[in-house]
Structure 1
Amino acid sequence: MAGRIRVGDIELAFREWGEGPVTVLFVHGNLASKDWIELAAPHFPRGVRTIAIDWRGCGDSDKPVPAPDFSNYSIARHADDMLAALDALKVDFCHLATHSTGGIISTRMILSQPDRFGRVLSLSPVGPQGIDFPPEKSAFFGRMKADTALAREIMATTAPSLFAPETLLPNPGPARFLPQVTAGDGARALLFNRIVDQVSGVSDGIWFGTPDTLTKEARSGELKARMGTIRHPHLVVWGVRDGVIAEADMKEMAHLMPDCRFVAVPGIGHSMNLEAPELYAGYFGAWFGGLAK
């Protein structure tokens, strides 16, 4: 099932898979969408209703013009959107499955309404530490926005196991210093191609607002300082080939959060939900399957 829900003055798009007494909200990552779990969702266990919602500015959701300070695209704003969407869907309690920047969004959701959430499955998350983007890395998002081929190459590096290793090349020269890629065959390649097409349509509030707000979160240190108060059970799953998220951050989450397990998976990069959807569904089912609610 798919549809749209009103959250304040905008509408957010959502999809649902499955039904049952257990509800899981999937919170996607930056430059992404609800579609990132569509190949995994058919393998989720019975008795679980999974809801995925596009952030404002992403996928099929509305794309409001960003404020000069990106305040309407902050991590806190995305978290508030998700909470309001759950209200609109009449979901009083659920569990959370997150990917990448969805991880820090879920942190703000949990700290805002701790009794509303149960378990959390965090796939290669941006943790409460945030990410500090220096100016040259923030500016790189503008290059990706202006160059579809470059955006495709970068997206490929987040899912390296989908591509023949010899096509993920190092810098061949100043004209193109990022990997050249060739997609494989099958449903995963088709989804990857559609995801790349979606990237070209995201809001400037995403292209430029996400690195800005993640940097603000990192430099404030607020969420990192509160990690010890987050008692919700977390399973952090991270691919050993992940070039986006530092393993040290994942280990720090497992060390500082009272109920957090860390699993490192060989052969996988940043996006297990794209690279190995059946494997991702296995972790999802082991973490959420069989719960009473």
Structure 2
Amino acid sequence: MPKVQAGEVQLGWREWGQGDVTVVFIHGNLASKDWIELAAPMFPSGLRVIAIDWRGCGDSARPKPATNYANYSMQQHAQDMLVALDALGIRYCHLATHSTGGIIAARMLLMQPRRFGRVFALDPVTPLGMAFNADQIGLFRAMMASKELTRSVMATAASSLFVPESLAPNMVPRFREGLGEIQALFDRIIEQTFVVSEGIWIGTPVNLTHERESGELERRMPEIRHPHLVLWGERDGWIAPADLRAMAEAMPDCRLVIVPGIGHSMNLESPALYAGYFGAWFGGLAASQSTAPG
């Protein structure tokens, strides 16, 4: 896979399509650019879609974490992405995000607002951040040592792929029948997850808690004027709908849509449905069309 230099790190990236309208995908925690690979062939023509791995994830470099994980903060990830866009020659684009990619995108939008147009946010961590206690961070540490535990926890991020009763505590998650390539991608994702940096495993919940406690981005939500389409799967047990409603109320141009029967990861659980929403939001835009705040 190709890599792009972003400051002191190299970031892995992938590209689909050759259109004049560019959309950059920012993935979630413990994830990678590959989470949209099944949906990408169904995106509309006219779109160039680029996905970039965070530092510590996928094909990107894994710097040693600082003691306080400051080099894996949401601000650092946002800065990495902006420098990567510079290196790739992308002066203006739209954003698609998933989960923690949402709060990284919020920082990008505030840092360089005129660089971006529309935002398509799937089950995003909002600018409010998230709070993790010591027990929850301890669970992430335990996942680092157990592929079985990692698979069980990650299954809850794609709950519609599994037989519901198999997601109960102390059960082994069992796929529904007939998933084919989706099941194969999920299994590959688990392998990727198990080798991310400690700066991701522990640094992400630590830094999301800092974001929640500081309230900085929460106060700045009215400044984010970019048109947002926010999707929340009604079976998502990770993102609090109250946070999404607060985001939709505070941001000037933000629409929240609740999708039945889907969990936290529509891009993996139902790639065709994800591509449909993606295409409805980005398809048909003129290359010169700028919907960024003036």
1:249 aligns with 2:248: no
For 1:21 and 1:130, the matched residues in 2 are separated by 33
Q: Which residue of 2 aligns with 1:277?
A: 271
Secondary structure of 1:280's counterpart equals: helix
Q: Which residue of 2 aligns with 1:226?
A: 220
Which residue identity is paired with 1:277? P
For 2:210 and 2:165, the matched residues in 1 are separated by 37
- Given the alignment, which residue of 184, 187, 194 partners 1:190? 184
Secondary structure of 1:159's counterpart equals: helix
1:261 aligns with 2:226: no
Q: Which residue of 2 aligns with 1:206?
A: 200
TM-score between the two structures when normalised by the length of structure 1: 0.96
TM-score between the two structures when normalised by the length of structure 2: 0.95
- Deviation track 1:156-208 (CA, whole Å, cap 9, x = no partner) reads 01101111123222x3xxxx4xx520134400000000000001110000011
- Deviation track 1:126-151 (CA, whole Å, cap 9, x = no partner) reads 00000011111111100111111000
Runs of 4+ in 1 over 2 A off after TM superposition: none
1:219 Cα offset (Å): 0.3
For 2:82 and 2:254, the matched residues in 1 are separated by 23
- Given the alignment, which residue of 148, 167, 173 partners 1:181? 173
For 2:25 and 2:160, the matched residues in 1 are separated by 23
**What's the RMSD between the two structures over aligned residues?**
0.8
Secondary structure of 2:105's counterpart equals: helix
Which residue identity is paired with 1:104? I
Secondary structure of 1:129's counterpart equals: coil
**Unaligned stretches of 5+ residues in structure 1:** none
For 1:287 and 1:248, the matched residues in 2 are separated by 24
Q: Which residue of 1 aligns with 2:52?
A: 53
For 1:262 and 1:121, the matched residues in 2 are separated by 10
1:121 Cα offset (Å): 0.2
Q: Which residue of 2 aligns with 1:126?
A: 125
Secondary structure of 2:195's counterpart equals: coil
For 2:167 and 2:273, the matched residues in 1 are separated by 23
Secondary structure of 2:172's counterpart equals: coil
For 2:4 and 2:175, the matched residues in 1 are separated by 34
Which residue identity is paired with 1:182? R
For 2:10 and 2:74, the matched residues in 1 are separated by 18
Alignment of structure 1 residues 74-113 onto 2, 5 Å: 74-113=73-112
Which residue identity is paired with 1:181? P
Q: Which residue of 2 aligns with 1:239?
A: 233
Which residue identity is paired with 1:130? G
Secondary structure of 1:143's counterpart equals: helix
Secondary structure of 2:5's counterpart equals: strand
For 1:65 and 1:81, the matched residues in 2 are separated by 16
Matched positions, count: 285
For 1:67 and 1:54, the matched residues in 2 are separated by 20
For 1:258 and 1:282, the matched residues in 2 are separated by 25
Q: Which residue of 2 aligns with 1:150?
A: 149
Q: Percent identity?
A: 61
Q: Which residue of 1 aligns with 2:3?
A: 4
1:154 Cα offset (Å): 0.5
For 1:101 and 1:37, the matched residues in 2 are separated by 15
Which residue identity is paired with 1:180? V
For 1:150 and 1:31, the matched residues in 2 are separated by 14
Q: Which residue of 2 aligns with 1:141?
A: 140
